[in-house]
């Protein structure tokens, strides 16, 4: 009952007893994975698992004949062996081992006795190398502890890229020491719009991550084999930065951090001083994020202000460009060159194709498949993330009972049917240019951690299977495994959306609901997870 589905899962005769005398042993390169696994299992057995020999041993090892993220998990009466092509593969094997335990084991509470694991052989490896999730902390800020919690949930589903959307019109969320007003001013807005076009709520909102916070997030993710890819938007989605430093914009009048949603008109100017400003920003960002990939946005940049700007029009003439579209491409190329000189690769949304693509850029294709197909055939790497298939801010049902009935309906079945390879690229040599895919949790209308749970799960579980498992789909089999997986999510406190629709308090984000409703839901969770040996 593993999610995402392994390549091979074979049930064998016998069982392994996990108790406080069990040991976890590993070679030095796997010491961190072993430490993590002991931390997960020790509370469940009611004692610290030892690194040396015991009554039964979980052995972690490396194999040269496996790819880095592949693993082989064998559970037998005399022990458990997890072998991987690299530490990441062993970590994923350990995650699968956890899913062989009863759901209550995920609570990290002592069972008061031994646990029985079925004897199995699992051989597994991911279909794609880029298995990501976009977490938008710019629109609604998510405190550090909640980001760490989300990283653990990603790791449980064998996702390996956290695309952290750190800046936008509505907020700047990362400390830049050279430019303190980015967070002193840009991290705070006076109120927020309710719904997509609703009234203002009258409540100040804000927050940001210190550089030490970012280091902790990046290190925490790395220990779970997740790369954190930062996104610093330009030239559009920059009103928060312009509010902090007006000289970055095109207007003489000051701006506030934006309080409404949608595509704004305020964009960066194209002066050398503005380019230098953001290169200085990236100097600090690159120190914080070792990721080989850095996203600069490039999406939804309205050109109205450039058309009205004498300075922008002069720039177009000086550079011999055709129009404002080519001006944006010129700007993106400047940052592509900057990042390439520092050994990094630029990622941009598919709008960077308009006006000519920067040579080394990776395209995140969100507006259907057209951008992915044209970029891949032109020899560029691609990440597919079409909004109609993997944007999880979109509603999950047709009923008005959805907390915020926004966007087209995107059901669990729709997500499970998604294929990261666009149809036009199948059996095309350019198919190899698809690095993988990522789902999106855009937070304009997700204003609490509980609402994030509701929008993300169980759709994240379905998405994880599309990027990890072989392309063949079996919805009935997935539903069967999901039935076993949901109690695991419940055991770690994830308030996912039930298939039957939202529970009474889930129809209004952030409202706890009636005590009797929550008591009924807790009773259901307890019934699922009460027998830890089952």
Instruction: Name the residues annotated as catalytic.
Output: 168, 237, 300
Contact 226, 159 (CB under 8 A): yes
Q: Report the DSSP pairing between strands 227-234 and 167-168.
A: unpaired
What secondary structure does DSSP assign to 309-345, as a single string? Answer: -HHHHHHHHHHT-SSHHHHHHHHHHHHHHHHHHTT-E
Distances (CA, A) of 343 to 280, 290, 339: 16, 10, 6
Query: Is beta strand 79-84 parallel, antiparallel or unpaired with respect to 382-384?
Result: unpaired
In whole angstroms, what is the distance from residue 392 CA to residue 403 CA?
13
Q: Could you tell me how many residues make up the chain?
A: 534
Q: CA neighbours within 13 Å on the CB side: how many for 143?
A: 5
Cα separation, 25 vs 34, whole angstroms = 7
Q: CB within 8 A of 326, min separation 6: which ones? A: 316, 355, 356
The 3-state secondary structure of 424-448, one letter per residue: HHCCCHHHHHEEEEEEEECCCCCCC
Helix ranges, 360-469 (H): 370-377, 387-390, 412-417, 449-456, 459-468
Q: How far is it, in rounded angstroms, from Cα 353 to Cα 340? A: 18
Is the separation of the CB atoms in 315 and 263 below 8 Å? no
Q: Are strands 171-172 and 167-168 parallel, antiparallel or unpaired?
A: antiparallel
């Amino acid at each position: 009952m593993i999610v995402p589905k392994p390549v091979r899962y074979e049930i064998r005769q016998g069982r392994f007893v996990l108790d406080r005398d069990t040991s976890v042993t590993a070679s030095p390169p796997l010491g961190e994975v072993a430490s993590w696994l002991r931390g997960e299992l020790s509370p469940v057995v009611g004692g610290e698992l030892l690194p040396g020999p015991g009554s039964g041993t979980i052995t972690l090892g490396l194999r040269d004949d496996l790819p880095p993220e592949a693993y082989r998990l064998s559970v037998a009466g005399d022990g458990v062996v997890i072998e991987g092509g690299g530490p990441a593969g062993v970590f994923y094997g350990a995650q699968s081992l956890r899913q062989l335990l009863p759901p209550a084991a995920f609570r990290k509470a002592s069972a008061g006795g031994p646990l029985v694991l079925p004897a199995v052989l699992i051989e597994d490896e991911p279909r794609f190398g880029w298995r990501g999730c976009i977490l938008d902390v710019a629109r609604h800020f998510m405190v550090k502890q909640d980001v760490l919690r989300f990283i653990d949930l990603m790791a449980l589903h064998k996702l390996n890229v956290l695309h952290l959307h750190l800046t936008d019109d509505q907020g700047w969320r990362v400390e830049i020491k050279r430019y303190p007003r980015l967070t002193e001013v840009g991290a705070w807005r006076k109120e927020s719009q309710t719904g997509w076009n609703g009234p203002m709520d009258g409540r100040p909102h804000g927050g940001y991550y210190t550089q030490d916070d970012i280091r902790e997030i990046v290190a925490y993710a790395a220990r779970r084999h997740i790369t954190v890819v930062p996104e610093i938007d330009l030239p559009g989605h920059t009103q928060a930065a312009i509010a902090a430093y007006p000289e970055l914009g095109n207007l003489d009048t000051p701006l506030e951090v934006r309080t409404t949603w949608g595509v704004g008109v305020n964009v960066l100017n194209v002066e050398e001083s503005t380019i230098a400003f953001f290169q200085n920003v990236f100097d600090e960002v690159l120190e914080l994020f070792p990721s080989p990939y850095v996203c600069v946005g490039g999406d939804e940049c309205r050109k109205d202000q450039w058309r009205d700007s004498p300075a922008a029009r002069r720039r177009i003439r000086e550079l011999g460009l055709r129009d404002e579209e080519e001006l944006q491409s010129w700007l993106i190329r400047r940052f592509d060159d900057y990042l390439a000189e520092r050994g990094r690769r630029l990622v941009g949304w598919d709008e960077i194709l308009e006006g000519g693509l920067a040579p080394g850029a990776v395209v995140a294709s969100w507006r259907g498949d057209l951008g992915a197909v044209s970029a891949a055939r032109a020899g560029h790497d691609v990440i597919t993330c079409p909004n109609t298939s993997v944007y999880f801010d979109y509603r999950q049902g047709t009923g008005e009972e959805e907390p915020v009935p926004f966007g087209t309906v995107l059901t669990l079945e729709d997500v499970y049917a998604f294929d990261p390879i666009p149809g036009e690229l199948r059996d095309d040599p350019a198919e190899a240019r698809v690095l993988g895919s990522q789902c999106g949790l855009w937070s304009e209308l997700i204003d609490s951690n509980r609402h994030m749970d509701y929008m993300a799960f169980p759709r994240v579980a379905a998405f994880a299977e599309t990027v990890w498992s072989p392309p063949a789909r079996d919805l009935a089999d997935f539903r069967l495994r999901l039935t076993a997986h949901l109690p695991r999510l419940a055991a770690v406190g994830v308030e996912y959306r039930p298939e039957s629709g939202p529970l009474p308090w889930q129809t209004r984000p952030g409202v706890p609901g009636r005590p009797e409703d929550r008591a009924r839901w807790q009773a259901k969770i307890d019934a699922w997870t009460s027998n830890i040996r089952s």
